[in-house]
């Protein structure tokens, strides 16, 4: 995505990614939006038009109380999961665009150098160590996904779904069941984010979305404080995890999966 950045809008600690005028036009050309949608583009952000009876919203939709607002007044127009996936299929969003969708909003990925930036070396090294150690310890039919999409929520309700790309995830196998879809909450046993510049977003925005979806186990590999943060027992109504644990780098973490012996990792082995 190539646009002139205005002052960034944020949502739950995550930075919204603005659209270019060309992307906005193509959303109509490809049927992501229709001429009947009362929406317009203001400095890269989709907002509902106000024709005297209040700001328009997509229907059906879920608008959270902390929805991001343009100029502090206009709610940003959320997308459905189907719309977001159509934007990817039609290359409105390209494979190299640093964007993912959270709760219907386009969010700038953060791989260690700030939102929308490329991967930092420490972040990349930590992901590599996670990948190597967990793959060695957790054999097939368990499925390992590294910075690949997962699906959270319904297809056709605006603002109700997410398609994040966590740094690592373990899903129930076999892997051929994901040939036509991405893993969802029922498939996922562990989701991991590596956090340095993204720490606030991972603790707040990602944790809230994962808890709401019922992701049973969420880890943050915290590079800032050199610790592992473990979130369990999701409260889907409150959008938070009931249990949180912090393990410093000199401690061990255990992982238990069905039909697999418990495996133990040293926290520092995940750190750069």
Query: Which residues in the chain belong to E strands, given as ranges?
Result: 10-11, 14-15, 39-42, 45-48, 69-70, 74-75, 99-102, 105-108, 143-145, 168-171, 188-195, 217-222, 227-235, 240-248, 252-255, 263-266
* Range of weakest confidence among 105-109, 117-121, 129-133, 222-226: 117-121
Query: Where is average pLDDT lowest: 3-17, 111-125, 230-244?
Result: 3-17
C-beta atoms surrounding 193 within 10 Å: 25
Residue 184, Cβ neighbours under 10 Å: how many? 16
How far is Cα 213 from Cα 193, in angstroms, rounded to an integer?
Answer: 16
Q: What's the pLDDT band for 190 if we cut at 50, 70, 90?
A: very high
- Tell which residue, 95, 115, 88, has the closest CA to residue 11: 115
Is residue 5 predicted with pLDDT exceeding 90?
no
pLDDT at 165: 97
Q: What is the pTM of this model?
A: 0.93
pLDDT at 54 over 70: yes
The pLDDT score that the predictor gives to residue 217 is 98
- CA dist 45 and 65 (Å) reads 18
């Amino acid at each position: 995505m190539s646009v002139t950045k205005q002052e960034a809008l944020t949502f739950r600690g995550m930075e919204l990614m603005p659209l270019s005028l060309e992307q906005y036009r193509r959303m109509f050309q490809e049927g992501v939006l229709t001429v009947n949608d009362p929406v317009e583009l203001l400095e890269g952000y989709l907002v509902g038009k106000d024709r005297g009876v209040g700001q328009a919203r997509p229907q059906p939709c879920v608008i959270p109380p902390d929805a991001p607002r343009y100029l502090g007044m206009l709610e940003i127009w959320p997308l459905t999961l189907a719309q977001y996936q159509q934007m990817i299929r039609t290359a409105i969003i390209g494979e190299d665009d640093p964007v993912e969708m959270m709760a219907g909003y386009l969010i700038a990925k953060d791989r260690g150098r700030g939102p929308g930036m490329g991967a930092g070396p420490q972040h990349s090294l930590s992901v590599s160590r996670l990948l190597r150690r967990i793959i060695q310890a957790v054999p097939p039919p368990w499925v390992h996904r590294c910075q690949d999409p997962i699906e959270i929520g319904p297809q056709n309700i605006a603002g109700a779904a997410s398609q994040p790309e966590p740094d690592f995830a373990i899903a129930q196998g076999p892997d051929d069941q994901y040939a036509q879809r991405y893993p969802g909450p029922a498939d996922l046993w562990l989701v991991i984010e590596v956090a340095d510049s993204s720490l606030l977003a991972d603790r707040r925005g990602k944790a809230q979305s994962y808890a709401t979806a019922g992701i049973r186990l969420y880890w943050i590999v915290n590079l800032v404080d050199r610790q592992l943060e473990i979130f369990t027992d999701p409260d889907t109504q409150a959008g938070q995890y009931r249990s949180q644990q912090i393990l410093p780098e000199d401690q061990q973490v255990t992982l238990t999966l069905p039909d697999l012996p418990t495996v133990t990792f040293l926290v520092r082995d995940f750190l750069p």
